[in-house]
Structure 1
Amino acid sequence: MDLLKGCIISVVLIIVYWFLWRWRNKRVLMLATQLPGPTALPILGNALMFMTKPEEQLKKIAALLEQYGDYIRFWLGPDLVIVIKDPNDIRCLLTSNKMNQKGPAYDYMTPFIGKGILTGGPKWRVYRKIANPSYNKKSIETFKDVFNEEAEALTNVLKRRDNNIFNVYFDVLQCTTRSVCRTLMGLSTDDIAELKYLDEVIHETQNIYSLIFTKMTRWWLQIPFIYWLTGNYRKQLYYQRIVDGLITEIIEKRRKSLSNEENYGVSVVDRFILNGLSETEIKLESFALFTTSQEASAKIASGVLLFLAHLPEWQTKVYEEIVQVMDDDSVSEEQIRGLENLDMVYKEVLRYLSIAALIQRTVEEDVTISNGKFTLPSGTVVAIPIHEVHRDSRFWDEPLKIKPERFHPENQKNRDPNAFIPFSLGAMDCLGRVYATTLIKTIVIRVLRHVELSAEGKLEDLDLHVAISVKFA
């Protein structure tokens, strides 16, 4: 009897809460009805629709876009989510000063990188302003020698490979990691050799991302007890421990160098130290920039090499262009700018393998879209499905095929430039876009000068793994 009474009281309280919530949010509900989208259940909203495998959730969004068009509305419990696929509205929203906070999905990354440059938060502008000089063109010019040396080392590794099939990503990841350590982290080669946790962090990086994405997309893991019971919290603590160990070592080495006035203030870690950030802030922001710089660069660089291996005619074009432009092996920024064919392949990789499959922003003030037709109320979560925009047949001829020629200047004239946003837009765009582009192209140029690439099968037949980013499965 007591159990029945408790159940009845619970149901009544839930119903009362639901009606109170609807009354308090009647304006938001009214504005939400203006947008198309699936019917929402009381309290749960459309959450049941997304109770599926993580890799299926973005497919659900793609299906909704196919059904409803460029604007769709759905509810995840009390949270209103608006997915927007129209390129012009995407540009307006991402460059608006009314949307300078990330969405709730980024909160799942905070145990590793805190509230900062990548995830948003109250001080993200401060952190970005401090880090920015390490990513500008002047700084990247000083990184040229390191990029060339590490790309040469990678080339020598690949030259020693036999003719058996192998995954080039892991060799490239070693190259990009050492490049990031020697530039953004400010370490010497001797410093790198002394890092006890570096190899372990490199090995576990994909597992860290997988843990974050799994918790992000499986609601039951967001219940602390279940997260602990399934062993995922124990994994998280282990990952946090090795990440903290690595970054602590890096910071200690930079503090020692700064006290001796060695390489004064060049690395991004130095800038965080010299600007008086707390030890926790330095660790979180340093790892955020470390992991995004080395992992994303490795994914795209290995993607370019894989594309060239599968497209021998483009490999020949790029190789001949490199030989024509370059006098020796050392790669400069001026030479990179002259390699048009390489740029086309690079951009097609960015289109096909989006660095971020979907990004979120939170509306801080009411904003209108679709020429004033719809109003997004404050507090709305806006989702930008970059992966889907990059595969929209309105802007891309045969979007599921790999065609670098689509980025030839003549073929881009009639395409909406806002349909290609690999590095996002606005104040919260990718800080490392110039850094990554220079490093990736340097790697490809140095490798292609001395290694002929080949692969079996067709690129389009390779399965894609769509999660935080898009990569081949």
Structure 2
Amino acid sequence: MVLYTGRIPGPLIWPLLGNAAIFMIRPGDQLTLVDELMKRYGQYVRLWLGHELNIIVGNPADVRRLLTNNKVNKKGPAYKYMETFVGPGILSGGPTWRLHRKIANLSYNKKAIQHYSVASNKYAIRLAEVLGNKEPNVTFNVYHDVVKFTTLSTCDSIMGLSEDEIKNVRGMSAVVADTQDIYDFAYSNMTFWWLRLPLIYWLSGRKSKEKYYKTNIDLMTADIISLRKNAIEKYGVVEESMCVVDRYIMSGELTDQEVMWEIITFFTASQEATAKIASMVLLIFAHHQDWQDKVYKEIQDILGSNADYVSDEDLKKMTNLDMVYKEAVRYMPIGALIQRSIEEEVTVNDGEYVLPKGASLLLPIHLIHRDPQYWHEPNKIKPERFSPENAKNRDPNVFLPFSLGAMDCIGRVYAESLVKLIAVQVLRRVELEADGNIEDLQLHVAISVRFTKGYNLRVRPRTKGV
């Protein structure tokens, strides 16, 4: 394999460790290290992490080609450390991911999202009402409010649960509270090899923490399966309203354990990831009053005073809201650093470099979204960069917030719809504000990106236009 990569630049390789020593840093600093390596060696960097060959590819055109290449349709070895919680399915890229995703697709297509829109509107309005009752001039982390209602929306739409049923699902409140910690825990296992040594894993308390997380996940997912099986037996199912859990149960293709694993995947991907995006959009409004005013006026022009139900057609007309949404997922993409396994030899950089079978790709989406070669003032929030005039002159390969190809984010359409509905209903009821500059807020970069100290803002009720 070394013969294949001799021409790809990279840091000095040490015996046994390779380049692993330079990655013995905090998880939040590892993307910074990748950025430094790319600045030093270019858009293609060779790294040996012990005996595993990893190749960073930062050229956007090659990233697109690789993500859509059937020779690279397998997640990298780091994802196996998520299997403790999500099993060998869609998220970790196990052998069953294609079948499991094919079954789930029908619950995430545009037709399904339209069916979910009644519930999404309902919970967006209820979130907006909660924010409208907040004490004015008091700063708070809006994520904690947002995630409560993205959870309710996800349970209603994706899981098929009523609010009364949700109250009786064991472990759910703990899973919602711990989701970010669970993914940080998995990311630490991916990146800090010494933490995985059995003695250290036990003495450090990580084994007991893993058991705690897994117990709650198992309780929650088992209860959801039981509730949906009982509902199917009692009421049957209607194709157009089938949730993803129903589809898995009715397919007969999955064991109960496999369904449990996919439930936690879809649950967290739908409620936690969507909550982070929605919180980011609201924070942009709080820090950029001009864009808050533009979007509010747009909402009023399109909806008038009646917005109890906002349709997909209404959302499509909101071009300013769309620009803010796209800037939010550019600035804070769901997948910061993607790893893929190369299943067959493939070339990059116009054939100059050969990537051998068995190597792993590291695709730094967050860094591509911040590359000054492609983005003017990339570390600033500027929704106008997504205006039709500005977008048409930009390489389309440099915007990859939900990945690409067969393993892209299955929930991207659901997330966009729910986030935009939340933005509309919140802005109709409250004005948002925040201190300082959003660009100065420290980022926590792990599997995804979030603000280290939360999404802090203030609200005050709107005095007219509602």
Alignment partner, residue 157 of structure 1: 130
The partner residue of 1:202 within 169, 176, 181 is 176
**What does 1:39-188 align with in structure 2 at a 5 Å threshold?**
39-163=12-136, 164-188=138-162
Alignment partner, residue 441 of structure 1: 420
Question: 1:100: Cα distance to partner?
Answer: 0.6
User: What per-residue deviation string (whole Å, max 9, x for no partner) do you get for residues 301-325 of structure 1?
Assistant: 0000000010000000000001111
- Higher deviation after alignment, 327-336 or 381-390: 327-336
Task: Work out the CA distance in 2 between the residues paired with 1:170 and 1:315.
Answer: 21
Q: Is the 8 A contact 1:213 1:467 kept in 2?
A: yes
User: What per-residue deviation string (whole Å, max 9, x for no partner) do you get for residues 251-280 of structure 1?
Assistant: 111000000125445010011111111011
Q: Which amino acid aligns with 2:67?
A: L
Task: Work out the CA distance in 2 between the residues paired with 1:378 and 1:397.
Answer: 37
Alignment partner, residue 4 of structure 1: none
User: What per-residue deviation string (whole Å, max 9, x for no partner) do you get for residues 349-389 of structure 1?
Assistant: 10111111100100000001111111000001001001100
- Residue 214, structure 1, aligned to residue 188, structure 2: yes
- Residue 235, structure 1, aligned to residue 218, structure 2: no
Task: Work out the CA distance in 2 between the residues paired with 1:213 and 1:125.
Answer: 24
Task: Work out the CA distance in 2 between the residues paired with 1:84 and 1:90.
Answer: 7
Q: Is the 8 A contact 1:301 1:440 kept in 2?
A: yes
Q: Is the 8 A contact 2:20 2:49 kept in 1?
A: yes
Alignment partner, residue 260 of structure 1: 234
- Residue 270, structure 1, aligned to residue 243, structure 2: no
Task: Work out the CA distance in 2 between the residues paired with 1:67 and 1:348.
Answer: 28
Task: Work out the CA distance in 2 between the residues paired with 1:172 and 1:465.
Answer: 19
The partner residue of 2:258 within 272, 281, 284 is 281
Task: Work out the CA distance in 1 between the residues paired with 2:27 and 2:209.
Answer: 19
Higher RCO structure, 1 or 2 (CA under 8 Å, sep 6+): 2
- Higher deviation after alignment, 191-200 or 117-126: 191-200
Question: 1:342: Cα distance to partner?
Answer: 0.5
| SS state at 2:62 partner | helix
- Residue 297, structure 1, aligned to residue 271, structure 2: no
Q: Give 5+ residue unaligned stretches, structure 2.
A: 453-466
Q: Which amino acid aligns with 1:410?
A: E
Task: Work out the CA distance in 2 between the residues paired with 1:460 and 1:430.
Answer: 26
Percent identity for Structure 1 against Structure 2: 50
**What does 1:302-313 align with in structure 2 at a 5 Å threshold?**
302-313=279-290
- Residue 320, structure 1, aligned to residue 297, structure 2: yes
Task: Work out the CA distance in 2 between the residues paired with 1:169 and 1:302.
Answer: 5
Alignment partner, residue 428 of structure 1: 407
Q: Which amino acid aligns with 2:66?
A: L
Q: Give 5+ residue unaligned stretches, structure 1.
A: 1-27
- Residue 352, structure 1, aligned to residue 326, structure 2: no
Name the TM-score, length of structure 2 as normaliser: 0.94
Question: 1:461: Cα distance to partner?
Answer: 1.2
Q: Is the 8 A contact 1:82 1:383 kept in 2?
A: yes
Q: Is the 8 A contact 2:124 2:422 kept in 1?
A: yes
Name the TM-score, length of structure 1 as normaliser: 0.93
**What does 1:406-421 align with in structure 2 at a 5 Å threshold?**
406-421=385-400
Alignment partner, residue 20 of structure 1: none
| SS state at 1:453 partner | strand
Q: Which amino acid aligns with 1:251?
A: I
Q: Which amino acid aligns with 1:448?
A: L
Task: Work out the CA distance in 1 between the residues paired with 2:111 and 2:26.
Answer: 45
Q: Which amino acid aligns with 1:144?
A: S
Q: Is the 8 A contact 1:264 1:270 kept in 2?
A: no
Q: Which amino acid aligns with 2:295?
A: V
Task: Work out the CA distance in 2 between the residues paired with 1:466 and 1:196.
Answer: 30
User: What per-residue deviation string (whole Å, max 9, x for no partner) do you get for residues 31-68 of structure 1?
Assistant: 11110111101111001111111111111111000011
- Higher deviation after alignment, 187-196 or 63-72: 187-196
Q: Is the 8 A contact 1:258 1:264 kept in 2?
A: no
User: What per-residue deviation string (whole Å, max 9, x for no partner) do you get for residues 57-114 of structure 1?
Assistant: 1111110000111100010011110000101100110000101100011111101101
User: What per-residue deviation string (whole Å, max 9, x for no partner) do you get for residues 123-148 of structure 1?
Assistant: 10000001000001111111011001
Task: Work out the CA distance in 2 between the residues paired with 1:124 and 1:414.
Answer: 37
| SS state at 2:432 partner | coil
**What does 1:341-380 align with in structure 2 at a 5 Å threshold?**
341-380=320-359
Task: Work out the CA distance in 2 between the residues paired with 1:172 and 1:468.
Answer: 20
| SS state at 1:81 partner | strand
Q: Which amino acid aligns with 1:267?
A: C
| SS state at 1:357 partner | coil
| SS state at 1:430 partner | coil
Task: Work out the CA distance in 2 between the residues paired with 1:171 and 1:373.
Answer: 50
- Residue 459, structure 1, aligned to residue 435, structure 2: no
Q: Which amino acid aligns with 2:225?
A: I
Task: Work out the CA distance in 1 between the residues paired with 2:162 and 2:12.
Answer: 58
Question: 1:413: Cα distance to partner?
Answer: 1.5
| SS state at 2:78 partner | helix
| Structure ID, larger Rg | 1
Once superposed, what is the RMSD of the aligned Cα atoms? 0.9
The change in CA–CA distance for 1:188 and 1:263 in structure 2 (over 3 A counts) is farther
Question: 1:192: Cα distance to partner?
Answer: 1.4
Question: 1:156: Cα distance to partner?
Answer: 1.0
Alignment partner, residue 21 of structure 1: none
Q: Is the 8 A contact 2:334 2:402 kept in 1?
A: yes
Alignment partner, residue 451 of structure 2: 472
User: What per-residue deviation string (whole Å, max 9, x for no partner) do you get for residues 173-217 of structure 1?
Assistant: 001000000001001121112223221111111221121122222
